Chain A
Amino acid sequence: MLSLIVFLPIIAGLVILAVPSSQKQIIRIVSLLAALAQGVLAVLIWRGYNPSLPGITGSFQYVEKVPWISLQLGGFGSLNIEYFLGVDGISITMVILTALISAIGVLSSWTIQKQVKGYFILYNLLASAMMGCFVALDFFLFYVFWEVMLLPMYFLIGIWGGPNREYAAIKFFLYTLFGSVFMLLVMIGLYFSVLDPATGNHTFSLVAMATQTNYIKGAILGPDNVFWRYVAFIVLFIGFAIKVPMFPFHTWLPDAHVEAPTPISVILAGVLLKLGTYGMIRINFPLFPEVFHASMYVIGIFGAINIIYGAFCALAQKDLKKMVAYSSISHMGYVLLGLAAGNSEGMVGALYQMFNHGTITAMLFLLVGVIYDRAHTRQIEKFGGLASYMPVYAALVTVAWFASLGLPGLSGFISEALVFVGAFSSETTRPIAMVSVLGIVFGAAYLLWSLQRMFLGQRRSDAAYDLVVGDDGHEHIHFHDWKGKLDLDGRELAMLVPLVVITIFLGIYPMPVLGMLTTSINKLVEVLSPVVMSHL
């Protein structure tokens, strides 16, 4: 089941390889079918998921575990790598999110005209790798998926991106590779330090690594090797923080977003950023719980910086997409803050925020794409008074913008509230939480301000569109060289409406997601609870 959901897009990619590149529509439809099939599988997995099993250190569901590579390693013994997939409460929400965003990304890619075949092959490779990351339970397998994402992303930004795409693409590639090569060293170090209790062999299994009693005393990352455990935690954290992206490693993100085509921005904000925090939850924290405890305060501070700094940057942007990119950085800060709280409320809030950030930010980028397609500009000051001419668009923008600023009744509110409940109830993060609340105010500021400038008031004299008086005597607006429907067309509605529905539904009734999370999060909090390493 999990293998199928992971490799379906790659299979679609192989099918596309055989389709002649002139058959653009077939290529798109094959991709869409694969994405929809992925969605169906995700729903099936969700229906069959038993939320009472905790996961983290065992009792994973839909487990697929076969030996993949087994070889003799010098005088060291055997090296065993397993093809080991499974989901628990933490990953299943991400699996559903990934399936959803991938499908919407395909719809959003419909307008791509240049080298369609290559685009969809890379897109499907990316979709597979993302899904693989969320279900891999073997560190080696995780690492392979993690790195396989980079190259398609590089090309997707680099070939189909905006004017400054070369710079943005290589910056993305270098930044993330810089983070992940350290992960490689930690992975090797962990392998030498952990024994699988079942077989007595060294192992890459993340499940075995999450139990501290499996570590070998005296090994490089063994329980008594405090110095290297701190180093390993920090470099792993930086590796994941680059992906989040956490201040001060965030500078690649605005560049990547501004240059990337809309669907890739959606994927980037919707799924890829979650991999950073997912990696922290799955790997970084449970493997080094004592270091996590020592650094909760620091993580919280970085979370707060993300929230406030991201909001300030967003406030200063003239480019709408860049504003959304910075708002995305700001909102990932809540995830970090919730994780830093270290209690169930904070962690549940963090994970729920990851899911909501995925849906809401995807929506924001899609909406930015809609207006960019029409006006060929994203400068906020080039618009004004759009609400009266594009009412449906304006309505959806309003929902998305309000969801993003955390209006009660929409999903973003619940997750942010949970994060703050967690952060306030933890002694460590309470002062940080007090400061972070300001982020909500600034968030409201940039979102409402942009809403006002773009949609309310009158058309500006230098706007990106003309006013024409139509046959019916009413004023309409006209975008230069835009042939399509002025307001949202069917395809755009098909992408946006599901997201809006989810946002509203989960804002009123969050239990479908929270219910899956809580058991796993409680287990995670238990794993992370202070342990005295020297007793191991």
Chain B
Amino acid sequence: MFELPSGAEIQSIIASLQASVGFFIPEIYLSLLFMLLIVIDLVAKGRKNNLLAITTLVGLAGSFFFIYQQHALPAGEFFFGMYVLDEFALFFKYFFVLSGMLAVVITMADEQFDSEVKSIGEYYALIVAMVIGMIMMACSSDLLMIFLSMELVSFTAYILTGYFKRNARSSEAALKYLVYGAVSSGLMVYGFSLIYGLTAQTNLIKISAELATHGYDPLVMIFSTLLVLAGFGYKIGAVPFHFWSPDVYEGAPTPITAYLSVASKAAGFALLMRFYYIAVPHDGHAYEDILGIDWLSLLILLSVASMIYGNVVALWQKNVKRLLAYSSIAHAGYLLLGIIVMDELGTQATLFYLLSYFLMNFGAFYVVILIANKTGSENLDDYRGLGKSMPLAGAALTVFLISLVGLPPTLGFIGKLMIFSALLAKGSLYMWLALIGIMTSVISLYYYMLIPLNMYLRESRHHEEKQLSPGMPAQIFMAVLMILTIYFGLFFAPLSDFAKYSSAMFGLTLH
């Protein structure tokens, strides 16, 4: 039985909470923004304008101010070790806010919303809620907090996926997402409970200390890490936890697809890195008695399977969104490579790759939306002749796809370069992983190039040569994304230095 805390204890708890609030300002600000959006939606109901979108954009942009101020705060835990603030977390705060903003921008461009939904309603509020949830994922340092933040993200994501209520595919996607999500959360919580059983702790750093001092049963440990991996693997969309992603990516509103494929995946990676780096460190010989398998081997397995499966299955896709879904599975595999090396360079490479993936994937989906606005289709066959009728969109999409393949002079190339550098810095140990990585990226060239192939090499089936213009703001935005992809591919030092700065994780000592 728990005893009620004494008055003095309550005083100290309150004092601690008050001290912690200072570290939580961006999250509070975003929560207020969330409520404000709901209120605006209630007040301004029925009005067909971009008021909500603009408010969301401005509001999200405002949060940069509060996040920026957190650089001055010392890294550390607060809220009784539930929550952590470090450079690593700050990186993801910027990342998620920025991806939320991009999601809003591309939603504004998507004309499908005009036909599918009468009122945009709570859509933008949910995007903000998801930003909050993902930020909390990146900052959680406690099993309970991890679970709560993941569920917050998942539930908002389910709703957003099924946002086109009258669209059967959208609803189907939401249901599939929900079912898979529920199962993998369940598995993950089971894994957490085993870890709690082993260590009697929920804080990641304390778990690590407990494991180091008291030892553990390796069989239980490997079993629990496997279960936890089911939860994280589902979020990052890695094989074999990927089954939801093609259907969800295809069925969901395209801005949500882009948002999920970049931000939600990144949140999964943030969590995965923090959990495995801090709670269950890999010391090379810890679990060797169990078939030599530990979580690192599991991650290697996941990574290899994702790279091969994602890239190979994408070869047969006829729908561009589905193709990009499989490509995102493959990219999860490349990102895992950076985690596997388990050193500062690996973390830097992973974070850098996330940045590059952010730019090129959002860019690709943005163009896909603009094209769908004009042609009403996401089928590869309907991309024929688009290089002529939408020249800028065609060029931009080609640049993003080249970047996704990993060819210079684009950002995606540098991402791959960093990942492979991290692998090769370990000598010949991970050479075979690097080989699989580059071989599969050659495969990926084929399916990515199917899109430019249809756009440029094949004639449109409609013979009239009319120009389809997506409108000036969209053209400019698209051009900016394209130029950034190339610019950062040639001058990537700022991004890389930022990634290095951000690789510092509280409570972590990597060798």
Q: Which chain A residues have a beta carbon within 8 Å of chain B's beta carbons?
A: 69-76, 79, 115, 143-144, 147-148, 150-151, 154-155, 158-159, 165-166, 169-170, 173-174, 177-178, 181-182, 184-185, 188-189, 191-192, 220, 228
Contacts and interface: CB of A to CB of B under 8 A. Distances in A.
Give the size range of B's interface with the partner: 35 or more
Contacts of A191: 421
A515 B213 CA distance: 74
B147 interface: no
B284 interface: no
Nearest to B348: A74
Interface string B445-484: 1100100110011100000000000000000000000000
Contacts, number: 101
Contacts of B453: 158, 166, 170
Given A74-B500, A170-B453, A173-B449, A147 B408 contact: yes
Of all A-B residue pairs in the complex, the 9 with the closest CB atoms, nearest first, are A74-B345, A181-B438, A74-B344, A144-B408, A71-B493, A75-B344, A158-B457, A71-B496, A147-B408
B220 interface: no
B457 A69 contact: no
Interface stretch (B230-238, B275-283, B427-435): B427-435
Interface in B345-364: 345-349
Nearest to A220: B427
Interface string B410-429: 00010011001110110110
A148 B431 CA distance: 26
Contacts of B151: none
Contact of B345 (A69, A73, A144, A184): A73
Given A73-B345, A184-B438, A192 B408 contact: no
A191 B420 CA distance: 12
Contacts of A147: 407-408, 413
A72 B449 contact: no
* Chain B interface helix/strand/loop/mixed: helix
Contact of A188 (B424, B441, B449, B491): B424
Nearest to A21: B391
B507 to A, nearest CB: 18
B345 A75 contact: yes
B343 interface: yes
Interface of A is mostly: helix
B445 A177 contact: yes
Contacts of B420: 184-185, 188
A191 B398 CA distance: 30
Given A148-B408, A158-B453, A182 B422 contact: no
A178 B449 CA distance: 15
B116 interface: no
Nearest to A191: B421
A189 B424 contact: yes
A173 B421 CA distance: 24
Contacts of B491: 69
Contacts of B346: 74
Contacts of B113: none
Contacts of B457: 158-159, 165-166, 169
Contacts of A155: 452, 456
A171 to B, nearest CB: 10
Given A70-B493, A177-B445, A188-B417, A158 B407 contact: no
B408 A188 contact: no
B368 interface: no
Contacts of A177: 407, 442, 445
A73 to B, nearest CB: 6
A157 to B, nearest CB: 9
Nearest to B491: A69
Contact of B493 (A69, A173, A182): A69
A74 B343 contact: yes
Nearest to B345: A74
Contacts of A115: 388
Given A158-B456, A169-B457, A73 B421 contact: yes
Nearest to B418: A73
B483 to A, nearest CB: 13
A115 B346 CA distance: 45
Contacts of A178: 442
Interface in B205-249: none
Contacts of B114: none
B425 A76 contact: yes
15 contacts: A69-B492, A71-B492, A74-B344, A151-B407, A155-B452, A158-B456, A158-B457, A170-B446, A173-B445, A174-B442, A184-B417, A185-B420, A185-B424, A185-B438, A188-B424
Given A147-B407, A174-B442, A181-B442, A76 B493 contact: no
Given A147-B407, A188-B424, A71 B500 contact: yes
Contacts of B417: 184, 188
B409 interface: yes
Interface in B155-197: none
Contact of A143 (B408, B445, B446): B408
A71 B421 contact: no
A75 B408 CA distance: 25
- Of the listed residues A147, A181, A188, the one surrounded by the most CB atoms of chain B closer than 10 A to its CB is A181
A182 B417 CA distance: 12
B393 interface: no
Contacts of A75: 343-345
Given A147-B408, A174-B446, 10 more contacts: A71-B497, A72-B497, A74-B425, A79-B496, A158-B453, A159-B456, A177-B407, A181-B439, A184-B420, A220-B428
A192 B493 contact: no
Nearest to A185: B434
Contacts of A74: 343-349, 422, 425, 500, 503
Contact of A174 (B343, B445, B500): B445
Nearest to B501: A72
Of B349, B421, B500, chain A has the most CB atoms within 10 Å of the CB of: B421
B402 interface: yes
Given A71-B493, A158-B456, A220-B428, A170 B449 contact: yes
A220 B449 contact: no
A150 B493 contact: no
Contacts of B493: 69-71
B424 A192 contact: yes
Contacts of A181: 438-439, 441-442
Contacts of A151: 398, 402, 407
Interface string B379-402: 000000000100000000010001
